[in-house]
């Protein structure tokens, strides 16, 4: 089985940051930390004009938090540290001086929906169904919530959060504003991603950064807010309900 990784490739001003995990591109702490670092680094890289955030494989874009690591958490401090990883990734995207295009080839679950929502422009396939599954395991989409709510509004965010076992289609996600475009297959999606990336690579870096600051206006307090939300998840993950629910999910996997 292939090892998890975060890989970076830059070509003609376009930097692709790809993450992969053999368990449906789930996100353990190591991958989260590496993703945040890479986004920060290439956001400051003068040779990078635009960033594409993608995951490996052809099926799931991101299955969210690693169940193996969730079940291993035994203290609130460990819980805070783990969920802070999602906070760091979202804040890295928010503060990045470059536009980030999300390439969403397949299903997004939990934290994966949050990562997609944080991207500045998302291009997906029809296979990219979404689900905020956190409540089903006794937690809640606390850390990713601000990013998702910012993109799709309070009503749609509430719908996803409460009906935590229901998949929503990629077209639903497009109508609500999570996805900017939805294509019928991966090839067409990749053509759209490349077209936009090429265009942005030849656009004014200063103008794009000024635009991004406007798009993210009102989120300056997220550095503190998302860590406060991480602490909530870090407490809840220790409950007997959550531990039993995670074990039940793992046994079905």
Measure the CA–CA gap between 49 and 201, rounded to whole angstroms.
5
Q: What is the mean pLDDT of each run of 10 residues along the chain (253 residues)?
A: 90 98 95 98 97 96 94 95 98 98 98 98 98 94 98 98 97 98 98 98 98 98 98 96 86 66
Domains in the chain: boundaries = 5-205
Q: At what angle do helices 76-95 and 29-43 cross, to 10 degrees?
A: 30
CB 90 within 8 A of CB 143: yes
pTM of structure: 0.96
Listed residue (99, 110, 191) closest to 147, CA to CA: 110
pLDDT of residue 253: 58
The CATH number fitting domain 5-205, selected from 2.40.30.10, 3.90.226.10, 3.40.50.300, 1.10.10.60: 3.90.226.10
- Residue 5 phi, psi dihedral angles, 5° rounding: -160, 165
- Residue 228 phi, psi dihedral angles, 5° rounding: -65, -40
């Amino acid at each position: 089985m292939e090892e998890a990784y975060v890989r970076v490739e830059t070509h003609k001003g376009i930097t692709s940051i790809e993450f992969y995990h053999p368990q449906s591109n789930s996100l353990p702490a190591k991958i989260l930390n590496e993703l945040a670092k890479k986004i920060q680094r290439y956001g400051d890289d003068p040779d990078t004009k635009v960033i594409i955030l993608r995951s490996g494989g052809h099926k799931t874009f991101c299955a969210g938090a690693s169940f193996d690591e969730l079940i291993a958490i035994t203290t609130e401090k460990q819980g805070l540290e783990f969920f802070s990883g999602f906070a760091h990734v979202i804040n890295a995207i928010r503060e990045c001086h470059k536009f980030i295009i999300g390439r969403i080839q397949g299903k997004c679950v939990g934290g994966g929906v949050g990562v997609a929502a944080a991207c500045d422009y998302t291009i997906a396939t029809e296979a990219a169904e979404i689900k905020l599954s956190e409540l089903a395991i006794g937690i809640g989409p606390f850390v990713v919530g601000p990013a998702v709510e910012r993109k799709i509004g309070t009503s749609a965010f509430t719908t996803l959060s409460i009906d935590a076992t229901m998949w929503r289609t990629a077209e639903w996600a497009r109508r609500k504003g999570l996805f900017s475009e939805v294509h019928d297959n991966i090839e067409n999606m990749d053509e759209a991603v490349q077209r936009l990336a090429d265009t942005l690579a030849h656009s004014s870096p200063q103008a794009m950064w000024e635009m991004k600051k406007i798009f993210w206006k009102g989120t300056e307090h997220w550095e503190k807010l998302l860590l406060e939300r991480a602490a909530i998840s870090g407490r809840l993950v220790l409950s007997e309900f959550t531990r039993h629910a995670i074990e039940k999910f793992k046994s079905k996997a």
